[in-house]
Structure 1
């Protein structure tokens, strides 16, 4: 069980994305946006050069998930939201 509320998680995740993950992705023309935290699920969207990149699944697993889970909690679920699904997070 995740011992944090969604309200507690959001600023912590946002900080990790802004300080650690986004700069790594920017080096290759990529970007990331935190869309929301719902029921301890972290909804992000890979953007820029990451969209359609064959390595985006590796980026999600070995950079995004690793950084967030290591810093906050190992059981957090990170979901990459496809373009156009930003308003339908409950369906993912």
Structure 2
């Protein structure tokens, strides 16, 4: 098995491509060792002591190095953990018992409640996110989650390599906000949630 690596716009994050499916659907973000307890793979990556974030995409794992960590020494550790996991075909998530169901991906929790009167606008926002924005963000080793729409403002959460990336504010304001305003005139602003 060969695991490819790619850089991301976030210098602290590398994208690892194991050449197989990671998540059957959705994505999962682990921002702390406590979050990682749901997944043997995420937990093993945090156990290196030099990881501050792990993100599972459809066919990749993004890993964020902790402040002060050196990718020259961390990268072989991460590749080793990934190889061990995928070669052993270990489960991605812990199961509660032998017949239990694996922990599902995170559910999208709204930051602001959507007004039912805006249902058509919200559907357009979500479609634009799914078809044009999420694929581009996934190429950079991250994801973007819809967190609500109110008074012309779309609330979005950056995850994975995009979370904490020095260019994430520019991506939100210049890229995503411009695209949203162009296709959906009711959108006046995009804010990070």
1:47 aligned onto 2:159 = yes
1:1-92 matches, cutoff 5 A: 5-73=117-185, 76-81=188-193
Question: Matches of 2:123 and 2:191 in 1, distance apart?
Answer: 17
CA distance in 2, matches of 1:54, 1:11: 30
Q: Which has the higher relative contact order, 1 or 2, with Cα contacts under 8 A spaced 6 or more apart?
A: 1
Q: Which runs of 4+ in 1 moved over 3 A?
A: none
Deviations 1:17-57, CA, capped at 9 Å, x for gaps? 00000111111102101111122221111111111100101
TM-score (norm 1): 0.75
Count of aligned pairs between the two proteins: 77
TM-score by structure 2 length? 0.38
Contiguous gaps of at least 5 residues in structure 2: 1-116
